[in-house]
Chains A and B, each alone.
Chain A
Amino acid sequence: MSGYLVTLAITVGIYMILALSLNIIVGYAGQISLGHAAFWAIGAYSFAILTTKYGLGFIESSVLAVIITTLVGIFLGLPSLRVSEDFLAITTIGINFIVQGIFNSSDYFGGAMGIGGIPFPTFKGEMISNTAFMLMVYGFVAITIVASYMFKRSWAGLASFAIKDDELAASVNSVSPVRFKLLSFAIGSAIAGISGVLYASFMSFISAADFSFPVSVTILAMVMVGGEATIIGPIFGSVLLVILPEIFRFIHDYRMLLYGLLLVFMMRFQPDGFFGKRGLVWGILKRFSKV
């Protein structure tokens, strides 16, 4: 594989983890989150600060970064629990802007200059190759897929689905909405933290602009275009939305316009995503299985 393909594969993998983690919050628990880039940022920034400022090793910093992201996720989940649906969407947009604003204006976090020199993982004192990094990323993708699958099948997942379908009915059946919403926020932000660690380590330089609101929209679009609450959906969505801009690089002036139109047309004609209940792919598969 050429270096370009490996880099592309790593980017796709990092977004896959991110999209799957948002899927736990949006798809499984039905909590609209438009600020997922904020959790990604917290993972990446914690890792960057721990390695560059405090000189911690790769593994210790990764573990700490994931713990920090989870705690912040729970903390930010708390005000979000007081609100639902549309209010929640706007609150999470707000969280994204506030987190980005803090990273962008605080000198401790490198301010507008960002943080550079974030270490690449090493093995026996030597930096691992990009291909090895790619394998590591896909290892985490596999772990995330297994975790998503297990969450979906567990009682916690069932409880979350119940809350998503009808919060009142679920709470009457003694399923605590607060508990499971927080749980999904915690799991979702923990996995986003992993993705942030991988991103920071791979890029070796991060700045607040990498985690702006449009990035959150892109992540949500990956989940929605593929099909929320499925596992294949976010995977497919992240492949599509990372690869498409690469293919259309030659008309790069029209890229954002096409992207905007894609969002509109997807929502207009495939509102459940390609792999969702009313999606194109399932429709085709069903037709073939009938024959």
Chain B
Amino acid sequence: MFFQQVVNGLTIGGVYALIAMGLALVYGILRIIHVAHAGVYVVGAYTGLYVFMFSHSFVLAALASMIASAVVGVLIEELVYMPLLNNSPIISLIASIGVFISIEEGIRLVFGPYIKSFPSAMFSGEYHLGSLILSSSQVVVLLVGMISIVLIWFITQKTRFGLALKAVSEDIEMAEGVSIDSRWMIMLAFAFSSAFAGLAGLLVGAYFNSVYPSMGDVPAYKSLAIIVVGGMNNIWGAFFAAIVIGLLETIAIGVFNVPLPRDSLAFIFMVVMLLIKPSGIMGIFKR
């Protein structure tokens, strides 16, 4: 029972990580709280659903949802965030919330307000490891999540692109000084983080076998709590925080039956964290 919940927590934590890491990356570069990131996640889920309906291929669906969400992410950046860059952060935050509402409502108007599920449950069957039960969709979520996180690690830590991103997030003017095209880098960063948010949308859709317009509501605000716990612009802090919060929620609700609503636990954890260590989870390791 306990281990079952640990695995469930890891699965959900891995998906949170895919969203929150992109959010931390974007925050690190533009200092914008990108609430609309969760809108991109819904776009990914819907694209994946429709491509899967026609092609019956998970790989195609995943690719399509990553591409579509990358395009949406870049559009948001070009049309909304870049022109607002010189205003106070609260203005881009409100614009971002506006974009998020518009995306969700647009999707609701086009595709209808009802929960849609994958035509034939995308993956069927269960695996039994002792008392542990893993549904095959859970296995796929875990595997794809892990592969993506390794990929994110490789791209941000081991490539020139990752190095340039790090430079831009440290100091845009200095990065320009060493002839990094920061405009282009910001665009790529949005494409990159949005692609993984879209993939996360598809994975969640497949895991719960349901896709609906307001599915972004909970991740939108929970991922904010996660990046605060992780230390705002720290991608790996966001990763650890996502796993910790995923585990914490699942175990608190599933094992200890904590009577609080599941979705406020992340925020309670965040407030406690702010009181103990405002610099975030990575701050603890650094000491």
Residue of A nearest to B264 (CB): A101
- The contact of B95 among A82, A87, A253, A268, by CB within 8 Å, is A268
Q: Is A267 an interface residue (CB 8 A)?
A: yes
State in angstroms the CA–CA spacing of A86 and B225 once bound together.
Answer: 12
* Residue numbers in A under 8 Å from B270 (CB-CB): 90-91, 94
State in angstroms the CA–CA spacing of A105 and B92 once bound together.
Answer: 33
State in angstroms the CA–CA spacing of A83 and B232 once bound together.
Answer: 12
Instruction: Give the residues from 230 to 280 in chain B that come closer than 8 angstroms, CB to CB, to chain A.
Output: 232, 259-261, 263-264, 267-268, 270-271, 274-275, 278
Q: Is A32 an interface residue (CB 8 A)?
A: yes
In the bound complex, do residue B95 and residue A263 qualify as a contact, i.e. CB atoms below 8 Å apart? yes
Q: Knowing A93-B221, A98-B264, A98-B267 touch, does A86 contact B98 (C-beta < 8 A)? A: no
* Residue numbers in A under 8 Å from B98 (CB-CB): 260-264, 266-267
* Residue numbers in B under 8 Å from A98 (CB-CB): 264, 267-268, 271
* Residue numbers in A under 8 Å from B109 (CB-CB): 253-254, 257
Q: Knowing A85-B89, A264-B80 touch, does A91 contact B271 (C-beta < 8 A)? A: yes
State in angstroms the CA–CA spacing of A34 and B225 once bound together.
Answer: 14
Q: How far is the CB of A291 from chain B (nearest CB, A)?
A: 30
In the bound complex, do residue A264 and residue B259 qualify as a contact, i.e. CB atoms below 8 Å apart? no
- Residue pairs across A and B with Cβ atoms less than 8 A apart, 25 shown, are A32-B93, A82-B274, A86-B31, A87-B228, A87-B274, A89-B89, A89-B90, A98-B267, A98-B268, A98-B271, A102-B260, A105-B259, A213-B221, A224-B94, A253-B109, A260-B100, A261-B102, A263-B101, A264-B80, A266-B98, A267-B91, A267-B92, A267-B95, A268-B80, A271-B84
In the bound complex, do residue B105 and residue A87 qualify as a contact, i.e. CB atoms below 8 Å apart? no
Chain B: interface size category: 35 or more
Residue of A nearest to B227 (CB): A90
Known: A94-B270, A271-B87. 9 other contacts (CB 8 A): A32-B89, A79-B275, A86-B89, A87-B274, A89-B33, A89-B93, A91-B271, A104-B261, A264-B80
* Residue numbers in B under 8 Å from A79 (CB-CB): 271, 274-275
* Residue numbers in B under 8 Å from A260 (CB-CB): 97-103, 105
Q: How far is the CB of B138 from chain A (nearest CB, A)?
A: 27
Q: Is B125 an interface residue (CB 8 A)?
A: no
In the bound complex, do residue B90 and residue A224 qualify as a contact, i.e. CB atoms below 8 Å apart? yes
* Residue numbers in B under 8 Å from A100 (CB-CB): 264
